[in-house]
Structure 1
Amino acid sequence: MTTSMSSGAMKIVIDFCCFLSVGIGILYLMLFTEPYERGFFCNDESIKYPFKISTISTEAAAFFAFFIPTFGMLIGEIFHGYKSTSKVNREFCKRRVPTWIVQVYQKVGLFAFGGLVTILMTETAKNSIGRLRPHFIDVCQPNIDCKNGSYEFQYKYHTNFTCQNEDRKKLWDDSRKSFLSGHSSCMMYGMVYFALYLQLRVTWKGSKLLRHSLQIICLWFSWYVAMSRISDHMHHWSDVLAGMLLGTIVALINAFCVADLFKERQCVDKDHHQRSPAEQNMSNDMTDSPIMISK
Structure 2
Amino acid sequence: MSSLRPGSVSDTTPLQRFESQSSSSEEPSSPTAASIIAAASAASVTTANHNNNNVKLDLQLPTFVGSSLGNHGGGSMGAANSKLPLRGPRQIFGRILMDLCLLSCVGLPMLGFSLYGEPVKLGFFCNDSSLRHPYKDSTMRSWMLYLICGALPASMMLLVEFFRAQDSRLHGPFQKHRLGSGYHLCHLELPFWLLECYRKIGIFVFGLGVEQLTTNIAKYAIGRLRPHFYTLCQPVMLDGTTCNDPINAGRYIEDFTCAAMDITSKRLKDMRLSFPSGHASFACYSMLYMAIYLQRRMHWNRLRMLRHLLQFLLLMFAWYTALSRVSDYKHHWSDVLAGSGIGLTYAVVVTCSMW
Q: TM-score, normalised by structure 1?
A: 0.81
The residue aligned with 2:229 is: 136
Match of 2:156 among 69, 72, 76: 72
1:100 matched residue in structure 2: 193
What residue is the counterpart of 1:167 in the other structure? 262
Q: Aligned-pair distance for 1:13?
A: 4.1
What displacement does 1:147 show? 1.4
Q: Which has the larger radius of gyration?
A: 2
Classify the secondary structure of the residue corresponding to 1:19: helix
Q: How does 1:40-79 map to 2 (within 5 A)?
A: 40-79=124-163
Counterpart pick for 1:219 among 298, 307, 315: 315
More off after superposition, 117-126 vs 2-11: 2-11
Residue 248, structure 1, aligned to residue 339, structure 2:
no
Deviates more, 1:176-185 or 1:137-146: 137-146
Structure 2: which 5+ residue stretches go unaligned? 1-82
Equivalence map 1:193-272=2 (5 Å):
193-206=289-302, 208-256=304-352, 260-262=353-355
* CA positional deviation for 1:210: 2.4
- The residue aligned with 2:59 is none
1:98, CA displacement in angstroms?
1.2
- Helix, strand or coil for the counterpart of 1:116? helix
Contact 2:84 2:182 in 1 (8 A): no
| Pair 22,207 (structure 1): closer, same or farther in 2 beyond 3 Å | closer
- 1:93 offset after TM fit, Å? 6.3
In the other structure, the counterpart of 1:126 is 219
The 2-side partners of 1:2 and 1:26 are apart by 38
Q: Does 1 or 2 have the higher relative contact order (CA < 8 Å, sep 6+)?
A: 1
Alignment of 1:173-184 (within 5 A): 173-184=269-280
Long gaps (5+) in structure 1? 263-295
Task: State the secondary structure of the residue aligned to 1:206.
Answer: helix
Shift of 1:90: 2.6
Give, in whole Å, the separation in 2 of the partners of 1:204 and 1:3. 32
1:276 matched residue in structure 2: none
| CA deviations over 1:258-294 (Å, ceiling 9, x no partner) | xx212xxxxxxxxxxxxxxxxxxxxxxxxxxxxxxxx
1:189–1:250 CA contact under 8 A, matched in 2: yes
Aligned length: 257
2: CA distance between counterparts of 1:128 and 1:3?
Answer: 49
- Equivalent in 149, 170, 179 of residue 88 of structure 1: 179
- How far apart, CA to CA, are the structure 1 residues paired with 2:316 and 2:346? 19
Note if contact 1:143-1:163 (Cα within 8 Å) is conserved in structure 2.
Answer: yes
How far off its partner does 1:217 sit? 0.8
For residue 143 of structure 1, give the secondary structure of its aligned residue in structure 2: strand
- What is the DSSP-based 3-state SS (H/G/I as helix, E as strand, rest coil) of the residue aligned with 1:51? coil
Identify which range, 156-165 or 205-214, moves more after superposition. Answer: 205-214
Q: CA deviation at 1:91?
A: 2.1
SS of 1:209's equivalent in the other structure is helix
**Which secondary structure state, in structure 1, belongs to the residue aligned with residue 246 of structure 2?**
coil
Q: Who is 1:291 aligned against?
A: none
Report the more deviating stretch, 34-43 or 131-140.
Answer: 34-43
Change (3 A) 1:2 1:65: closer
Alpha-carbon separation, structure 2, partners of 1:4 and 1:127: 47
Deviations 1:172-224 (A, max 9, x none): 11111000101100000000000011102222223653222211111111100
Identity %: 39
How far apart, CA to CA, are the structure 1 residues paired with 2:263 and 2:164? Answer: 50
CA distance in 2, matches of 1:207, 1:193: 19
Change over 3 Å in CA distance of 1:26–1:203 after alignment to 2: same
Instruction: Indicate the residue corresponding to 1:33 in structure 2.
Output: 117
- Secondary structure in 2 aligned to 1:173? helix
One-letter amino acid of the structure 1 residue matched with residue 243 of structure 2: C
Contact 1:66–1:115 (CA under 8 A) maintained in structure 2: no
Relative to structure 1, the CA distance from residue 49 to residue 19 in structure 2 (aligned partners, 3 Å threshold; closer, same or farther) is: same
Helix, strand or coil: the match of 2:182?
Answer: strand
TM-score (norm 2): 0.68
Find the aligned partners of 2:182 and 2:194 in 1 and give their Cα distance: 12
Quickly say closer, same or farther: Cα 1:10–1:200, change in 2 above 3 A. Answer: same
Select the structure that is richer in helix. 1
Cα displacement (A) at 1:157: 1.2
- Which residue of the partner structure matches residue 36 of structure 2? none
- C-alpha spacing 1:211/1:93, structure 2 compared with 1 (3 Å): closer
* Displacement of 1:2: 11
CA distance in 2, matches of 1:15, 1:4: 20
Asked whether the 8 Å contact 1:141–1:163 carries over to 2, the reply is: yes
SS at structure 1 position matched to 2:207: helix
The amino acid across from 2:205 in the alignment is A
